[in-house]
Amino acid sequence: MEVTKTKTCVIIGASHAGVNCAFNLRKEGWGGAIKMYDADPYLPYHRPPLSKAYLTSDDGLDKNLLKSAEAYEKEEIDLNLGVKVNSINRENQTIVLEDDTVTKYDKLVIATGARPIIPPIPGIDTAKHVFPLRTATDVTNIKETFQSLTSKNIVVIGGGYIGLETAASLKKLGADVTILEREARILQRVTAPLMSDYFNQLHDENGVSVLTGKNVNAIQVEDNSNIVSCSDGSEFKADMIIVGVGIFVNKELAEASGIVVKNGILVNAQTQTNDENIYAIGDCSFHHNPHFDRYVRLESVQNAVDQSKVAAASICGNTPTYDTIPWFWSDQYDVKLQMVGLSEGYNEVIKREEADGKSFSVWYFKDDELLAVDAVNNAKAYVFGTKFIKDSLQVDKVKLSNSDTPMKLGELKLV
């Protein structure tokens, strides 16, 4: 694209959203410079495996890269790693790095993601071997510490996906794992009670202790280990503590420069912020989902990748609109969970169990509208759920709940 040849697109954040955006810019014909910055020193990698296969395998990060080093060179993407961006100056259209270097941009993409919340529990700052799990460095620290421990009692604070996946992986490595969840059930924010029950039981069967209603209120160091105390008086020995209680959006750079921030960085259907030259994509963006007709902030690979395409096309002068059905996945033990849609606001849940006895799916409805499907070892249900939601087709609920009805569009569609 001739007109973009002398222009520079700067991308802050080199994970799924930022990296894909850079490559998509080339696909869309961006002829100018592309400069990426990330504080993480490693060549950008896939994050989802960190708590799953990567934690339990001996493979290095090189088996887990988003793109090879050569690919960045080939596409002339200037990747600056281990570099923190200090500020955005919208008036001059520049960013300032931590060493005060100033870089000019014509278009700026904010793909800064999020960082783990470390809850202000008394004693957590001085506790031994406390780790979140978000980056490759976190996993390296967890692995190295784990190997050095003679006693391997691990407490996972938080029964969300990160906590559960990490618990499953550490169990596989031979740890004694206890999950402490503050709410009445694990995955409370994201799934129906019967899914929480299923995963609770799955972890029980695999020898991980899942305890709910556990509000951690103090951590004390004892020798080279910790005692984790809960408000109900219970105490747990922890040689290592994994914190998985959620994330803070990395919105500060945007906020300080006067970009509108709500539950994330507010963007329109082109992923553009209130500054026409600045875009925000991935976990940090607060955007409208047309299908569900509401504003959401999504922590997912799907959202990162799809928004990166929209931002790249938009920067190159096209007017795509972001209109996708969110999807997610989680792997724990040998169970594969695939999720599609957004279940928030459901008022009916239908569970469909397949004849094989190990796969099932949970279908979330608001009256007659299918909102979401959680599929356990059941890619077919995930795929058909996706089709039903995407095309706003009505499901025959009676047929759905009968596993004798084949999982086919024609069979399950209400006519």
Q: Which residues bind other proteins (CB under 8 A)?
A: 16, 27, 46, 48-49, 52-53, 63-68, 70-71, 74-75, 301-302, 305, 329, 331, 336, 338, 379-380, 382-384, 386-387
> Least distance from C-beta 4 to other proteins, angstroms?
20
Locate 137 and state its tokens: 């460095």
Least CB distance to other proteins at residue 231 (A): 38
Buried-exposed string 108-143: b where 16+ CB fall within 10 A, e elsewhere:
bbbbbbbebeeeebebbeebbbbbbbbbbebbebbb
Min dist CB 227 to other proteins, Å, is 37
Nearer to other proteins, 69 or 194 (CB): 69
303 closest CA partner among 21, 26, 71: 21
Q: CA angle at residue 282 from 385 to 241, to 5 degrees?
A: 90
* Shortest distance in whole angstroms from residue 393 CB to other proteins: 15
Exposure letters 199-222 (e unless 16+ CB within 10 A, then b): bbebbeebebebbbebebebbeee
Cβ closest to other proteins, residue 145 vs residue 386: 386
Min dist. Cβ of residue 385 to other proteins (A): 11
User: Least separation, in Å, of the C-beta of 377 and other proteins?
Assistant: 9
Question: How far is residue 65's CA from residue 81's CA, in Å, rounded to a whole number?
Answer: 14
Using the minimum distance from each CB to other proteins, give the nearer residue, 152 or 336. Answer: 336
Q: Which is nearer to other proteins, 48 or 160 (CB)?
A: 48
Rounded least distance, CB 163 to other proteins, Å: 19
Q: Are 47 and 20 in contact (CB under 8 A)?
A: no
The three-point CA angle 302-307-311 to 5° equals 160
Burial of 271 (0-12, 13-18, 19+ CB in 10 A): buried
The residue (of 24 and 153) whose beta carbon lies closer to other proteins is: 24
Shortest CB 116 distance to other proteins, Å: 20
Q: Check: CB of residue 403 under 8 Å from CB of residue 352.
A: yes
Q: What angle do CA 217, 223, 229 make, to 5 degrees?
A: 15
Comparing CB distances to other proteins, the nearer of 233 and 357 is 357
Percent helix, strand, coil in the chain, to 5, is: 30, 30, 40
Closer residue to other proteins (CB): 88 or 385? 385
Please state the closest distance from residue 305 (CB atom) to other proteins, in A: 5
Please report how close the Cβ of residue 57 comes to other proteins at its closest, in angstroms: 12
Give the C-alpha distances (Å, rounded to integers) separating 69 from 77, 112, 235, 301, 410: 10, 21, 47, 21, 47
Residue with Cβ nearer other proteins (323 or 348): 323
Nearer to other proteins, 241 or 305 (CB): 305
Mark residue 314 as left, alpha or beta (left: phi above 0; alpha: psi -120 to 50; beta: remaining).
Answer: alpha
Which residue number, 49 or 158, has a Cβ lying nearer to other proteins? Answer: 49
> What secondary structure does DSSP assign to 52-96, as a single string?
THHHHS---GGGGBSS-HHHHHHTTEEEEES--EEEEETTTTEEE
Distance of closest approach, residue 282 Cβ to other proteins, in angstroms:
13
Residue among 65 and 393 whose Cβ is closer to other proteins: 65
Position 62, amino acid: D
Element (H, E) at 202: helix 193-205
Helices marked H in 124-160 — which ranges?
136-148
